[in-house]
Amino acid sequence: MSARYFGAAVARVEDPRLLAGRGRYVDDAVLPGMLHAAFVRASMAHGRIRNIDASDAKGMPGVVAIYTMADFAGIAQGAMPPMAPHPLLPTPITYHPLAVEEVCHVGEAIAIVLADDRATAEDAAAAVLLDIEELPAVADAVLAWKAGAPRVHSKRPSNIAASLKAGFSDCDAVFAKADHVLTERFDIHRGGCHSMECRGVVASVDPHSGVLTLSTSSQSPYMVRRHLATYLGRDESEIRVMTPDVGGGFGPKANVYPEEFAVALAAIKTGRPVKWIEDRQEHFVATTQQRGQVWTLDVAFDNDGRMRAIRGHCIHDNGAYAPYGLILPATALASFPGPYALEALDLTIDVVLTNLVPTSPVRGACRPNAAFLLERLADRIARHLGIDRQQVRRRSFVRADQMPYSTGMKARDGSPISYDSGDYIAALDLVLDKIGAAGFEARRAAAADRGKLLGLGIASCVEDTGLGPFEGASVRVTPAGKVVVSTGASSQGQGHRTAFAQIAADALGVELNDVMVETADTSRFPLGMSTIASRIAVTAGSSVELAAQKVRAKAIAFASHKLEVGEQDLELEGGAVRVKGVPGMNVSLSEIARTLAGNVGISLPGGMEPDLAATAYFNSTALTFAYGANACEVEIDPETGDVRVVRYVVVHDCGKLINPLIVDGQIRGGVVHGIGNALFERMIYDEAGQPLTTTYADYFLPLASEMPPIEIHHVETPSPRNPIGVKGAGEGGTIPAAACVISAVENALGSNAPFIHLHPISPQQVVKWLERTASAAKA
């Protein structure tokens, strides 16, 4: 077999349809008799529901029904099942589909309005009269963490939902022996996520079979099915969940949401299809956000810059509910020690409830936080010792000759974490070479002549990818000779159909266009988990390879029997099994598939099993570790404090590339997400938990006019931990990006500037720092 497609930058098979305006997103569906839903939501961050008066609203023309949780009592009741139960959360902190008794953040859904059209539903939602007794709210995780703070949930004894610990070896002993110890406090902002398509769901019940079908803009359709089945007390076979085209996910759409349940309940209750499409304002208050944390860290290091140990504490802003358990804070801990070969580590995270919309993984989950902390500490050590920043890295990174390297940390299942492959110092060398670090001071001087401050930033990261246990795939050749790949993995724009088709086409010797890929429909493939954690290329990609190889072997066995030729003399090419070197002696996949599809009364040849098809579940038992080194240059206008990223270079190793076009796109999009985190995206709440930035005029997403071109250099170290040698690539762009930009900003501000311990930064802050630096220089 020759790899014709694997590794090639082939254009995506998804594209023509999407470019022609023929995508099918959830809001594009119209079902007969469909009702449109709007939610009545909490307008205060904490309150006790005394009364909901929908009498006027129900009488408005076009309004069909208005339901609260009590109206669904005959179908289901109680809080939603937790997606990721954790022993430290004995009482799950999950939503009800619609709030009962208490609301704990602005935007929490209280009632669902069903009408003939969305406008009517929204008008009626505004006419529902809520009598809610306002309770004290706490919107700041540090305040919520303190004793005596208002309770986020009146019935929970503490705002600290759980305390997580991680580490290894005797930290205090290493600190006692180290040459230096520094302490820093870090403040990483919460931020939103903002896929360009908001969430949405259409639910309907088949009147004959009773099957409940959901089309939902989700990263986790199988989790929606699983938890909805549990909640409704139904068998999973009575629920079908599928994802249509999804307009971006980036993490929040991995959650199972109360609106999905409420819409399903409304469809069951009315017997009519119900559609709900989140609008952007709802997205700001009801879709999970990202990664607010406050850390205090001590770092121990030696005179030569070698980072030896880290210990510290984090206050993690969880928001009001924990639908996804403790996944996000646990990921923060699991991201240590990054590329650094630490001798000891001792970290504690207090997971703190606030009266804000929950946080959950967003592109990188809390890996960008860990990268920010580690890279900031490395820069801080360099400043303290007066040595080059890269020297700290060179003396502290895990070396290539230490691979596979056991970090000392434990995975979720308790197994030791070990980095499989990579050369972090070589990646750093390469990125410094590519950005021209040697010529930087000359560029800095030239910028100074133009009145601008130029800064060089560096940041590295290690990323655990390919999270198990599996995403499966089946590969089937139809009697027409087409190949159908089916998998539970949902796609939100990552080009899964193309990547899987590339793998299958190579294995079976067919053209890319002969492969059709079905994804994320519970009626088409039995099991699935989630498109999260940069895991699909590793898990589903490997399963496609394994299944396709099984099909290949079966086709060869069939042809060997039919042609009476040894298997070693056969190859797959051009849609047929051919005898090597004997033109014309072949049997087509179509013929094999047709024969194995069976004919009444005729035995299958050679005692073969029916169907030219196979299913595989690659068992991803060990994480595979991608890594990267980034460097960037920022230019600061000292008059306005405006920061522009003018160059950005990525060196990235995600193992073998299935499609470089797609991987580069993932990395570039990821970097821009991180630049947004560093410079633009700020989700502001007042003290009472009211969100103040709920439009794109207030909340700044990165724009084309502000973004630099991003230069990418791949290092391909095949992963030894899966059959196709790949590592995940979806989040590696984001993880070090904010750290890299902040490193450059600090470098631009000069050696007297304050240490930057937070992001995002604002032009106002930059001007203040420059003023402080100038006055310090005068003094």
Partner 1 sequence: MTGKHLTFTLNGEPRETSADPRTHLADFLRYGLGLTGTHVGCEHGVCGACTVIVDGVPVRSCLMLAVQIDCCTVETVEGLANGDELSPLQQAFSTHHGLQCGFCTPGMLMTLEALLRATPSPTEHDIRMAISGNICRCTGYQGIVEAALAAAAVRTSTP
Residue numbers of the site for partner 1 (CB under 8 A)? 11-12, 14-16, 18-25, 27-28, 30, 119, 194-198, 245-248, 250, 279-280, 492-495, 661-662, 664-665, 668-673, 695-697, 701, 703-707, 709-710, 733
Is 20 or 779 the residue whose CB approaches partner 1 more closely? 20
Q: Is 297 helix (H, G, I), strand (E, B) or coil?
A: strand
Could you give the 3-state DSSP secondary structure of residue 566? coil
Q: Report residue 279 CA to chain centroid gap.
A: 21
Task: Name the minimum Å distance from CB 664 to partner 1.
Answer: 7
Under a CB-based contact definition with an 8 Å cutoff, are residues 396 and 378 in contact?
yes
CB of 513 to partner 1, least distance (A): 14
Residue 233: what residue type? G
278 versus 571: smaller Cβ distance to partner 1 = 278
Least distance in angstroms from the C-beta of 543 to partner 1? 23
Burial of 439 (0-12, 13-18, 19+ CB in 10 A): exposed
Q: Minimum CB separation from partner 1 for residue 461, in Å? A: 17
Q: From 45, 69, 80, 285, select the one nearest 151 (Cα to Cα).
A: 45
What is the CA 350 to chain-centroid distance, rounded? 22
Euclidean distance between CA atoms 29 and 256, whole angstroms: 21
Element holding 130 (H helix, E strand): strand 129-134
Residue 704 or 777 with smaller CB distance to partner 1: 704
**Would you state the structure tokens that stand for residue 575, as one six-digit string?**
């849609």
282-294 b/e (C-beta count within 10 Å ≥ 16 → b) = bbbbbbbbbbbbb
Closer residue to partner 1 (CB): 10 or 171? 10
Q: How far apart are CA 489 and CA 493, in angstroms?
A: 12
CB of 36 to partner 1, least distance (A): 10
CB 250 within 8 Å of CB 360? no
At its nearest, how many Å lie between partner 1 and the CB of residue 55? 25
Nearer to partner 1 by C-beta: 461 or 587? 461
Side-chain-side CA neighbours of 1 within 13 Å: the count stands at 21
Whether 192 and 284 have beta carbons less than 8 Å apart is answered as yes
485: tokens are 């790949």
Question: With respect to partner 1, which residue has the nearer C-beta, 41 or 151?
Answer: 41
Q: Quote the CA–CA distance of 709 and 675 in Å, as a whole number.
A: 12
> Least distance in Å: CB of 293 to partner 1?
23
CB atoms within 10 A of CB 55: 10
* Least Å from the CB of residue 326 to partner 1: 27
Between 291 and 316, whose beta carbon lies closer to partner 1?
A: 291
**Closest separation between CB of residue 306 and partner 1, Å?**
35
Based on CB atoms, which residue is closest to partner 1, 29 or 143? 29
Q: Which residue lies nearer to partner 1 by CB, 244 or 408?
A: 244
Residue linked to tokens 């949405």: 200
The residues facing 614 across adjacent strands are 475
Q: Which one, 159 or 519, has the nearer CB to partner 1?
A: 519
Minimum distance, C-beta of residue 280 to partner 1, in the bound complex (Å): 4
Residues 358 and 82: their CA atoms lie apart, in Å, by 14
